[in-house]
Amino acid sequence: MAANTLLIELGVEELPPGAIDTLSDALAAGIRRGLADAEVSHGEVLAYATPRRLAVQISSLADSQPDRAVEKRGPALAAAFKDGQPTRAAEGFARSCGVGVDELIHLETDKGTWLGYRERQRGEATTALLPGILQKAIAALPVPKNMRWGSSRVEFSRPVHWLVMLYGSDVVEAEALGLKAGRTTYGHRFHAPQAIELTQADGYLAVLEQAWVLADRHQRRERIREQVLAEAEVQEATAVIDETLLVEVSGLVEWPVALAGSFDKRFLEVPAECLISSMKANQKYFHLLDEEGRLKPLFITIANIDSTDPQRVIDGNEKVIRPRLADAAFFYDTDRKRPLDSRINELSGVVFQKQLGTLADKAHRSAAVAAFIAGHIEGDVAHARRAAELAKCDLVTEMVLEFPELQGIMGRYYAEHDGESPEVAQALEEQYLPRFASDAIPHSRTGMALALADRLDTLTGIFGIGARPTGTKDPFALRRAAIGVLNILIKGELNLDLRELLELAAAQHQELPYAESLVDEVLAYMLDRFRAWGQDEGIATESYLAVRARPVTRPLDFARRLRAVQAFAGREEAAALAAANKRVSNILAKQEGDVGSRVDPSLLHEAAEQALHEAVSAQRERVMPLFAEGHYAEALDTLAALREPVDAFFDKVMVMADESAIRANRLALLASLRALFLEVADIAQLQQ
């Protein structure tokens, strides 16, 4: 079976930069899936993309499907012949197979014998399969928004202008999006606008690079990174390369050229975050820092042309950025003319959620919860209450309305300008931490209190109106809020009771349709998030289930138990003790009524049960102080010594003795053993 390289290229007008990666990967995946369904073997599948093209190159693509044996089953043998002669059913089946009845075979199955036919079906040529595979792959593309162009009824993200489809050096006869496949592609819109005739599917990248196009998006990104770093070195500065911005800029150019420009130093009086947001959001510029980490009045832009007069390009970019930065300076000056707390009343006109009221209502609720938390974590209650009152005020400032990503940051700047307490100002920015699972938590106690209160208010409110997140929908980011609460409590070492906090947060809402079961539901939801949290920490699901089985409502305590159980699970004794706990659990579950754990030593007749009782009693003396201090890992290490007496007990002692008093005493001994481990977790779950 011969093999060759396949090249597919779809030429389009400039695609949305944010959609290029998704469309490119989806097209390659669709082609790969189609080939897999057709059972056509192939080598590496490579996806290429620029603003003006989506391409897939597949090496060692077989020229046909493999031949395969096809088996057809006809009527049951009893219905196929009558008096030794074929029936109409048999003759009809033979005709459908294109053979005579005498060429059919008997197929033996567990349900009887059937008339059948086997043939060797020749694999179809790959070039005949490709048109359908391509059309199906294009139809499945996650196009953000389709459009039409001209008089065509064809729809795609952007107008499509050419289609290349080569198998080796041959054009594959195909049609897609109203275009017939050929071998004609185009280079850079300005540097090489003329048509290019591709002679073969191999060498695609090299041909385009000669035409001023870097089709490999990963190569293009690294080229941009290298140029930005090199240009920053020339400027004696450090370039800050935001990976999201890098991807976006890469989606705007086919031949990147880095150029450095500057802006007026007077703009540095505006907070650096404002200038950076303006440069990134509006102009897609990379900003530069000096040796002290301060913003320099410089930027690096990525041009899509290697100009013979680069200064002219730089001048144009400087001209464009000047009014943008002037806007940022204007917003900053305008906002500072009013103190932040003068905007509290404006929050009454901003709806948080129609059933939960306005941002002013949310601020009032959060203030009560933040003050309570601050009082329990050695924070300043007055600061926490003040921070909650001001927390959302920057959302109605001109700067944040223009640059929403500056929420919290501008709150801190404006609070500092107004003379608010430094910790209150800091908390206004820290309220949004952590933004994601591995992000930093608030540093200040006021920031912790505010961040927790805000998230708890959202969680109780949204659950309280019945808007629980689903597998695909979480519009209020409740999963992120829940994990944020856990991270703050654990990393901040705040040993607060989550149930108590949820009860307080829920009580701040005036009316909630699902108030009755609200706290239990939110608590369960949040503790369930420990599964994902534990996975990030390298903790096995079984360890999570062991702790989750216990009524632990303090996340810091939960995390300590998780780590202790995970460490214990790695010990040699763990498997045997987990199995013993599971056995004990099953035995106790079958008993009627409360077994109790009080053991009568006078009823212990067997040496093995006496030894176990002595061991359990001795270990209880050792570990109860450890449990009280939360030293769970040390406690479990101590309890590991119970393995030998436990094994000996089950080997030599009949638990369900005939005499009821002895049986009850042995059950109590097992219950006391299990109770020790349950002080940490249900280690029987480690057997799963």
Reduced to 3 states, what is the DSSP secondary structure of residue 592? Answer: coil
Residues 461, 466, 470, 475, Cα dihedral to 10°: -50
Please enumerate in sequence order all residues whose Cβ is within 8 A of that of 170, keeping only pairs 6 or more positions apart, or say none.
Answer: 127
pLDDT band for position 592 (50/70/90)? confident
Reduced to 3 states, what is the DSSP secondary structure of residue 3? Answer: strand
Instruction: Give the chain's radius of gyration (CA, Å).
Output: 35
Give the pLDDT mean for 204-216: 97
**Which residue would you say has higher pLDDT here, 309 or 651?**
309
| Cα 213 to Cα 412: distance, rounded to the nearest angstrom | 45
Per-residue model confidence (pLDDT) at position 1? 65
Give the pLDDT mean for 584-592: 82
Reduced to 3 states, what is the DSSP secondary structure of residue 327? Answer: helix
Measure Cα distances from 39 to 65, 342, 420 in Å: 6, 69, 69
- The share of the chain scoring above pLDDT 90, in percent, equals 72
Looking at the structure, give the CATH architecture of the domain made up of residues 3-65+125-210: 2-Layer Sandwich (3.30)
**Which residue would you say has higher pLDDT here, 67 or 49?**
49
Q: What is the 8-class DSSP label of residue 279? A: I
- The share of the chain scoring above pLDDT 70, in percent, equals 100
Q: What sign does the CA torsion over 569, 572, 575, 578 have?
A: negative
Per-residue model confidence (pLDDT) at position 658? 80
Choose the weakest-confidence range: 59-68, 105-114, 459-468, 634-643.
105-114
pLDDT tens-place string over residues 557-575: 999 999 999 999 988 888 8
Is there a contact between 431 and 484 (Cβ–Cβ < 8 Å)?
Answer: no
According to DSSP, the β-strands at 286-289 and 238-239 are antiparallel
Has residue 663 got a pLDDT over 90?
Answer: no
Has residue 319 got a pLDDT over 90?
Answer: yes
| Cα 462 to Cα 361: distance, rounded to the nearest angstrom | 14
pLDDT tens-place string over residues 230-263: 999 999 999 999 999 999 999 999 999 999 999 9
pLDDT band for position 605 (50/70/90)? confident
Has residue 595 got a pLDDT over 80?
Answer: no
pLDDT tens-place string over residues 140-172: 999 878 888 777 778 898 999 999 999 999 999
What ranges do the domains of the chain cover?
3-65+125-210, 68-121, 217-335, 341-528, 565-687
Has residue 111 got a pLDDT over 90?
Answer: no
Per-residue model confidence (pLDDT) at position 198? 96
| CA count, 13 A, side-chain hemisphere, 648 | 14
Is there a contact between 356 and 362 (Cβ–Cβ < 8 Å)?
Answer: yes
Per-residue model confidence (pLDDT) at position 154? 83
Choose the weakest-confidence range: 189-198, 333-342, 427-436, 639-648.
639-648
Strand segments, DSSP code E, in 41-139 are 45-50, 53-62, 68-76, 81-82, 85-86, 105-109, 112-121
Q: 565-687 sits in which CATH class?
A: mainly alpha
pLDDT band for position 103 (50/70/90)? confident
Q: What single string gives the DSSP state of each residue in 647-688?
A: HHHHHH--SS-SSHHHHHHHHHHHHHHHHHHHTT--GGGGG-
Per-residue model confidence (pLDDT) at position 537? 85
Q: Helix, strand, coil proportions of the chain in percent (round to 5)?
A: 55, 15, 30
Choose the weakest-confidence range: 20-29, 154-163, 295-304.
154-163
**Which residue would you say has higher pLDDT here, 658 or 343?**
343
Q: Is 496 exposed, middle or buried (0-12, 13-18, 19+ CB in 10 A)?
A: buried
Give the pLDDT mean for 276-297: 94
| Cα 68 to Cα 40: distance, rounded to the nearest angstrom | 12
Per-residue model confidence (pLDDT) at position 16? 92
Has residue 508 got a pLDDT over 80?
Answer: yes
Give the pLDDT mean for 515-543: 91
Is there a contact between 182 and 162 (Cβ–Cβ < 8 Å)?
Answer: yes
pLDDT band for position 97 (50/70/90)? confident
pLDDT band for position 588 (50/70/90)? confident
pLDDT band for position 464 (50/70/90)? very high
* Helical (H) or strand (E) element with 361: helix 359-376
Per-residue model confidence (pLDDT) at position 493? 96
Please enumerate in sequence order all residues whose Cβ is within 8 A of that of 617, keeping only pairs 6 or more positions apart, or say none.
Answer: none
Is there a contact between 464 and 515 (Cβ–Cβ < 8 Å)?
Answer: yes
Measure Cα distances from 326 to 264, 266, 317, 323 in Å: 10, 10, 14, 5
pLDDT band for position 591 (50/70/90)? confident
Q: If DSSP states are collapsed to H, E and C, what string results for 462-491? A: HHHCCCCCCCCCCCCCHHHHHHHHHHHHHH
Bond preceding residue 434 cis, omega within 30 of 0: yes
Please enumerate in sequence order all residues whose Cβ is within 8 A of that of 138, keeping only pairs 6 or more positions apart, or say none.
Answer: 10, 27, 30, 176, 177
pLDDT band for position 688 (50/70/90)? low
Residues 485, 490, 491, 495, Cα dihedral to 10°: 100
The residue type at 260: A
Q: What is the 8-class DSSP label of residue 557? A: H
Give the pLDDT mean for 309-321: 95
Entry pTM: 0.80
| Cα 631 to Cα 557: distance, rounded to the nearest angstrom | 10
pLDDT band for position 545 (50/70/90)? very high
What is 341-528's CATH number, 2.60.40, 1.10.3470, 1.10.3210, 1.20.120?
1.10.3210
Per-residue model confidence (pLDDT) at position 536? 84
Per-residue model confidence (pLDDT) at position 662? 87
Has residue 305 got a pLDDT over 80?
Answer: yes
Reduced to 3 states, what is the DSSP secondary structure of residue 351? Answer: strand
Per-residue model confidence (pLDDT) at position 653? 83
Please enumerate in sequence order all residues whose Cβ is within 8 A of that of 36, keeping only pairs 6 or more positions apart, or say none.
Answer: none
The average confidence (pLDDT) of the chain is 92
